[in-house]
């Protein structure tokens, strides 16, 4: 199996079921309480603790130990426990793609991925693209050169999708780029510049190869 | 080379692409706790009692905030929390706990006893004899002899039965009415008269960033992090709402993840975050998720409308009779319907026009201005009808729009105002040329497999600027120009781009400019709201005024230091140079500090706003200051225009619509930032596509509960829903009533995009206008199959 397939199998198997159970147990009847996290030490009597809480995550090249609850999503862990707030929550429910991160190089909605599922996997967020010396990833540079995005709340998610796509398809057509980015929503409607950026990014990546 | 007219990437883009840009939910404070809201499950109810004892006893729960603890403005004002919820999803109370899960569990443990009250989701139902009112005081806000009054308006049974018999909108007595010209004569002189009932549904703004906020208090001062379109004005309005001196509130909103009119001065809910933090003495994060955003995030008012339009054989519109019933939501006052009347009059210049309207409170989410408020609705409703007339009269659809377009001095609306400039025909011409109208319209009706091609055009005007605000500039001893901007940063780039007006006047390169924005503690000037396409116009003016002031002072400093007349000194290339020699801007700043007085802001002009005065006083003595109120001439009303051209393919088997080609052309005066202008034209038009095709509200009329409450149930366009490449053009003629010549452009593209698509769909259907927005697939399919439409004539939430 490829990494993508592994991720899919994991997601569609045990973890998704326990995720749903967890949400139900935590009170799915609360209209506005979809996607939550619980602080370490707080009462968790309503959630069955069947998974280890201290887990190790490889985020942006660094191994991090983190205390997570069984129903905790990766987006919440990244934002509220690891301080990686570049990953945005736009919908909390896999509708908008603002929370897109890479797990073993494959795009995932981190709002709908349990942190427990990705332990010991390689996670890349928007913060992990820039080189330590400040050199931007070619996708980031392409966006700057095209003046891409308006409000840019969707930008981290789009950029992660662009990175995965640039690695997968070095010579894309504009149409292929649009399909690859169709899991991300931009409410400002800046799609023209986003596609221009994706095409320029492909050019930069080719040049580097 | 002038900065105005160049593509310059905005200064905050690096932060945005690296994830370092902090939006409201990205802030954190020591000891921060999380709040959740208890939302009303009923469309209208009274809270009889709340028992939170079980919740408060739960481990980790810290406290609650009730409606009695927040501002309760006079009716029809909206409070941040209420004991009389008027729509499903309205916040009743807030609870704080150590984490969000605990807070949500605790919300579940609160027992709320609600007494159901009468409710209504359809304005016409409220107007029926004996129909329910959305508010206890009535269903209409009227301006009577004693000022504003809330009353219950019911029409007669005859109004409804005659409408039903004639298959049109019921039209009882309106609250708003104006007319000009002789309407009867106008219709008598018409060669073609059409009459239609039309519906435009409400839609949620849905910016990508929900209105989350974080607040804490230190030493009696409130620090609030929120998402807003307009920094300075939000600071002022929140201070007022929290009953604080402006100095006791620090508001930070450097990045705004979209607003589109829903966050003009922040959001009422920020008050809850601030007050809860004060009450429990802990920093509070109130995270709003998409589901909650759907309820409290504002929406565009819907219209149930009727029109009669008369045309002469040459296409000239002789008369317009327009009636609009507006779906208002439960609070405030929305003027969309009035604006729609004025826009219709402006864009078609009829010899006579009558506008009648009434705005009805409903138990649906609160409304606010949404990009092109009123204009975007009416343009999309009327443009396909103009097509219908063009077809009937055998006139080209672009020509008929030029025949009716206004000129610079054309009067319109109830006050018979005139515009500062109107290069509408020019915008139509450059757009038609760029799009290739004459060739592309030959595609009209072309069948390819199961698809039929339609070609459409939509002309859309909107207000494009205000005036009278302040500019505040400082050249510091580091030689850089600091441009203080009180407007917001929601991605239009006007926060940076309007500063170019100052830099150009002072001959300073963009690398030597620093923009200060987004934080009320950074000494911001009195500014316009970043709404209604105001900032490009208002703040190129204000910054230019401040630049003229700074230039005069720099000349004075050089003359005092080097000798000779001040007017002989030139400011350019980082230097002030003249007969006595030359000094650097850095040196001039040092001299300004030494000279004091007006040079360094120790003395300030009389006419600036108190907000600017306080900011300037705080910056005084730190460099050479330019500070001024915009007093430039501004006669008439400033309007910008976008003309949209679209090609669609309608699948006659599925009813699906693909938008395959789009060009938008603008009259927005001088182009300040071409690439950003293109983004406004395209982005606004794409929002128009969503309005025309997919975003609508659906309510269960029996229980008043919404079915469309997330993105996927009222979906804005995705990247596959728009053409792969979109084009644009601009006239570029300067507006004569503003020194830089630039007008705003945010509003008009929405109507242009929506109208071009509704026009193109009607074209693909052989000229059949369905008079309904959005034109969802089921509506189109029913028409294609000759079935009855899946809705009643005036049904608005189905």
pLDDT in tens, B334-378: 999 999 999 999 999 999 999 999 999 999 999 999 999 999 999
Whether the CB of B600 is below 8 Å from some CB of chain A: the reply is: no
Asked if A182 and B37 come within 8 Å (Cβ–Cβ), the reply is no
A interface mutation test: which of B101, B205, B225 has the most A CBs within 10 A? Answer: B101
Q: How many CB atoms lie within 10 A of CB B133?
A: 24
Asked if A42 and B725 come within 8 Å (Cβ–Cβ), the reply is no
pLDDT at A38: 61
pLDDT at B709: 87
Asked if B39 and A32 come within 8 Å (Cβ–Cβ), the reply is yes
Q: How far is A37 from chain B (nearest CA, A)?
A: 6
Q: pLDDT tens digits, residue range B637-689?
A: 999 999 999 999 999 999 999 999 999 999 999 999 999 999 999 999 999 99
Instruction: Mention every residue, 6+ apart, whose C-beta is less than 8 A from residue B199.
Output: B302, B303, B304, B305, B771, B772, B773, B793, B794, B795, B796
**Three-state secondary structure string covering B226-289:** ECCCCHHHHHHHHHHHCCCCHHHEEEECCCCCCCCCCCCCCCCCHHHHHHHHHHHCCCEEECCC
pLDDT at A24: 34
Mean pLDDT of B768-793: 94
Percentage with pLDDT > 90 across chain B: 98
Say yes or no to pLDDT of B585 above 90.
yes
Nearest CA among A97, A115, A36 for reference residue B285: A36
Q: CA–CA separation, B307 vs B286, rounded Å? A: 45
Whether the CB of B658 is below 8 Å from some CB of chain A: the reply is: no
pLDDT at A8: 34
Q: Which residue of A has its CA nearest to B27?
A: A85
Give the nearest partner residue to A147 out of B7, B100, B207, using CB atoms: B7
pLDDT at A1: 35
pLDDT at B712: 92
Six token digits for residue B477:
């001893």
pLDDT at B1: 75
Asked if B291 and A31 come within 8 Å (Cβ–Cβ), the reply is yes
Whether the CB of A78 is below 8 Å from some CB of chain B: the reply is: no
CB B103 within 8 A of CB B310: no
Whether the CB of A23 is below 8 Å from some CB of chain B: the reply is: no
Q: How far is B99 from chain A (nearest CA, A)?
A: 5
* Residue showing tokens 């000779």: B564
pLDDT at A30: 31
Query: Using a CB-CB distance cutoff of 8 angstroms, which residues of chain B are in contact with residue A40?
Result: none
Mean pLDDT of B603-629: 98
Q: Are strands B192-200 and B772-773 parallel, antiparallel or unpaired?
A: parallel
Whether the CB of B37 is below 8 Å from some CB of chain A: the reply is: yes
pLDDT at B144: 81
Mean pLDDT of B703-708: 94
Query: Using a CB-CB distance cutoff of 8 angstroms, which residues of chain B are in contact with residue A179?
Result: 720
Q: pLDDT tens digits, residue range B268-286?
A: 999 999 999 999 999 999 9
- Is it true that the peptide bond before A16 is cis, omega within 30 degrees of 0? no
pLDDT at A39: 59
Asked if A91 and B37 come within 8 Å (Cβ–Cβ), the reply is no
Q: pLDDT tens digits, residue range B535-567?
A: 999 999 999 999 999 999 999 999 999 999 999
Asked if B19 and A184 come within 8 Å (Cβ–Cβ), the reply is no
Whether the CB of A116 is below 8 Å from some CB of chain B: the reply is: no
Q: CA–CA separation, B16 vs B10, rounded Å? A: 10
Residues 196-225 of B with CB under 8 A from A: 206-210
Instruction: Count chain A–chain B contacts defined by CB atoms under 8 A.
Output: 231
Q: Which residue of A has its CA nearest to B256?
A: A151
Six token digits for residue B535:
């900032």
Asked if B716 and A192 come within 8 Å (Cβ–Cβ), the reply is no
pLDDT at A120: 87
Say yes or no to pLDDT of B421 above 70.
yes
Asked if B675 and A193 come within 8 Å (Cβ–Cβ), the reply is yes
To the nearest 10 degrees (0 to 180), the angle between helices B336-348 and B375-393 is 40
Q: pLDDT tens digits, residue range B430-454?
A: 999 999 999 999 999 999 999 999 9
Say yes or no to pLDDT of B192 above 50.
yes
Asked if A185 and B716 come within 8 Å (Cβ–Cβ), the reply is yes
B445 phi/psi in degrees, rounded to 5: 85, -5
Give the nearest partner residue to A188 out of B13, B16, B683, using CB atoms: B683
Q: How many CB atoms lie within 10 A of CB B5?
A: 15
For chain A (209 residues), the mean pLDDT of every run of 10, in chain order, is 36 38 33 49 49 88 94 96 97 96 98 94 97 97 97 98 96 98 98 98 92
CB B141 within 8 A of CB B152: no
Give the nearest partner residue to B22 out of A71, A85, A130, using CB atoms: A85
Q: Is B74 exposed, middle or buried (0-12, 13-18, 19+ CB in 10 A)?
A: exposed
Query: Using a CB-CB distance cutoff of 8 angstroms, which residues of chain B are in contact with residue A197?
Result: none
Query: Using a CB-CB distance cutoff of 8 angstroms, which residues of chain B are in contact with residue A148?
Result: 13, 17
* Residue showing tokens 């993105």: B711
- Is it true that the peptide bond before B774 is cis, omega within 30 degrees of 0? yes
Whether the CB of B30 is below 8 Å from some CB of chain A: the reply is: no
CA distances from B457 to B326, B461, B763 (A): 26, 14, 10
Q: pLDDT tens digits, residue range B645-657?
A: 999 999 999 999 9
B interface mutation test: which of A95, A125, A144, A150 has the most B CBs within 10 A? Answer: A150
Query: Using a CB-CB distance cutoff of 8 angstroms, which residues of chain A are in contact with residue B684?
Result: 189
CB B315 within 8 A of CB B397: no
Q: CA–CA separation, B652 vs B784, rounded Å? A: 6
pLDDT at A36: 57
Six token digits for residue B196:
């239609």
Q: Which residue of A has its CA nearest to B676?
A: A147
Torsion of CA A133, A135, A136, A138, to 10 degrees: -140
Q: pLDDT tens digits, residue range A22-76?
A: 333 333 323 344 445 665 555 444 444 466 789 999 999 999 999 999 999 999 9
């Amino acid at each position: 199996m490829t990494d993508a397939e592994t991720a899919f199998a994991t997601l569609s198997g045990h973890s998704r079921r326990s995720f749903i159970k967890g949400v139900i147990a935590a009170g799915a009847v609360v209209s506005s309480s979809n996607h939550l996290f619980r602080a370490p030490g707080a009462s968790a009597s309503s959630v069955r603790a069947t998974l280890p809480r201290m887990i190790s995550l490889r985020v942006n090249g660094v191994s991090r130990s983190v205390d997570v609850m069984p129903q905790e999503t990766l987006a919440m862990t990244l934002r509220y426990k690891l301080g990686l707030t570049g990953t945005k929550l736009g919908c909390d429910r896999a509708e908008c793609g603002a929370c897109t991160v890479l797990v073993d190089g494959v795009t995932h909605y981190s709002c709908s991925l349990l942190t427990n599922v990705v332990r010991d996997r390689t996670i890349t967020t928007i913060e992990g693209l820039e080189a330590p010396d400040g050199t931007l990833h070619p996708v980031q540079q392409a966006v700057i050169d095209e003046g891409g995005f308006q409000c840019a709340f969707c930008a981290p998610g789009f950029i992660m999708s662009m990175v995965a796509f640039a690695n997968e398809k070095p010579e894309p057509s504009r149409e292929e780029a649009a399909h690859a980015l169709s899991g991300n929503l931009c409410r400002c409607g800046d799609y023209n510049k986003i596609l221009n950026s994706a095409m320029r990014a492909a050019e930069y990546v080719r040049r580097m190869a | 080379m002038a900065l105005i007219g160049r593509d310059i990437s905005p200064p905050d883009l690096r932060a945005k692409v690296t994830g370092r840009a902090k939006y409201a939910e990205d802030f954190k404070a020591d000891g921060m706790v999380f709040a959740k809201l208890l939302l009303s499950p009923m469309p209208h109810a009274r809270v009889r009692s709340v028992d939170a004892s079980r919740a408060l006893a739960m481990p980790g729960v810290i406290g609650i905030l009730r409606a009695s603890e927040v501002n309760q403005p006079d009716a029809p004002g909206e409070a941040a929390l209420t004991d009389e919820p008027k729509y499903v999803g309205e916040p009743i109370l807030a609870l704080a706990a150590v984490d969000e899960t605990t807070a949500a569990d605790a919300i579940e443990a609160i027992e709320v006893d609600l007494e159901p009250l009468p409710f209504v989701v359809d304005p016409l139902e409220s107007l029926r004899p004996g129909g329910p009112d959305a508010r206890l005081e009535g269903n209409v806000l009227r301006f009577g002899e004693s000022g504003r009054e809330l009353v219950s308006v019911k029409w007669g049974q005859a109004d409804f039965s005659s409408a039903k018999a004639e298959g049109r909108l019921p039209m009882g007595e309106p609250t708003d009415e104006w007319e000009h010209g002789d309407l009867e004569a106008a219709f008598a002189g018409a060669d073609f008269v059409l009459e239609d009932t039309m519906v435009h549904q409400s839609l949620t703004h849905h910016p990508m960033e929900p209105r989350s906020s974080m607040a804490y208090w230190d030493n009696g001062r409130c620090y609030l992090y929120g998402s807003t379109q307009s920094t300075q004005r939000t600071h002022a309005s929140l201070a007022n709402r929290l009953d604080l001196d402006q100095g006791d509130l620090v508001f930070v909103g450097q990045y705004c993840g979209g607003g589109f009119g829903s966050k003009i001065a922040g959001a009422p809910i920020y008050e809850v975050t601030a007050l809860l933090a004060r009450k429990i003495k802990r920093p509070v994060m109130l995270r709003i998720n998409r589901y909650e955003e759907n309820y409290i995030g504002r929406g565009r008012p819907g219209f149930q409308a009727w029109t009669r339009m008369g045309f002469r054989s040459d296409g000239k519109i002789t008369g317009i009779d327009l009636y609009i019933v507006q779906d208002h939501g439960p609070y405030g006052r929305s003027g969309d319907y009035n604006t729609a009347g004025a826009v219709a009059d402006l864009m078609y210049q009829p010899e006579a026009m009558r506008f009648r309207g009434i705005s009805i409170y409903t138990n649906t989410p609160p409304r606010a201005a949404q990009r092109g408020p009123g204009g975007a609705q009416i343009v999309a409703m009327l443009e396909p009808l103009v097509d219908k007339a063009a077809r009937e009269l055998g006139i080209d659809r672009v020509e008929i729009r030029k025949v009716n377009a206004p000129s610079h001095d054309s009067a319109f609306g109830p006050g018979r105002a005139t515009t500062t400039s109107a290069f509408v025909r020019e915008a139509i011409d450059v757009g038609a040329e760029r799009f290739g109208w004459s060739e592309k319209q030959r595609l009209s009706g072309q069948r390819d497999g199961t698809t039929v091609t339609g070609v459409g055009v939509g002309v859309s005007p909107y207000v494009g600027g205000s005036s009278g605000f302040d500019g505040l500039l400082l050249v510091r001893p580091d030689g850089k120009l600091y441009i203080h901007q009180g407007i917001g940063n929601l991605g239009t780039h006007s926060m940076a781009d309007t500063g170019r007006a100052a830099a150009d006047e002072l001959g300073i390169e963009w690398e030597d400019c620093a923009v200060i924005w987004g934080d009320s503690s950074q000494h911001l000037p009195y500014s316009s709201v970043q709404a209604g396409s105001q900032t490009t116009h208002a703040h190129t003016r204000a910054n230019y005024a401040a630049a003229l002031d700074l230039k005069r002072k720099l000349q004075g400093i050089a003359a005092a230091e080097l000798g000779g007349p001040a007017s002989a000194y030139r400011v350019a290339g980082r230097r002030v140079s003249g007969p006595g020699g030359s000094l650097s801007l850095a040196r001039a700043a040092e001299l300004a500090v030494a000279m004091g007085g007006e040079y360094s802001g120790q003395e300030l002009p009389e006419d600036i706003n108190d907000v600017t005065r306080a900011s300037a006083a705080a910056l005084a003595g730190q460099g050479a200051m330019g500070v001024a109120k915009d007093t430039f001439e501004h006669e008439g009303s400033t309007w910008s225009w976008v003309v949209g051209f679209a090609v669609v393919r309608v699948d006659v088997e599925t009813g699906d619509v693909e938008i395959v080609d789009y060009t938008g052309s603008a009259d927005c005066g001088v182009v300040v930032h071409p690439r950003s202008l293109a983004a406004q034209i395209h982005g606004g038009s794409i929002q128009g596509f969503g309005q025309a095709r997919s975003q609508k509200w659906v309510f269960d009329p029996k229980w008043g509960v919404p079915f469309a409450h997330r993105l996927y149930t009222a979906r804005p366009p995705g990247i596959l829903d728009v053409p792969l490449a979109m084009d644009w053009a601009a006239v570029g003629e300067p507006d004569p009533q503003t020194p830089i010549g630039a007008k705003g452009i945010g509003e008009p593209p929405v109507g242009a995009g929506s109208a071009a698509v509704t026009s193109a769909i009607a074209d693909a259907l052989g000229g059949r206008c369905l008079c309904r927005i959005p034109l969802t697939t089921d509506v189109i399919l029913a028409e294609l199959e000759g079935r009855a439409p899946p809705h009643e004539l005036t049904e608005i939430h189905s």
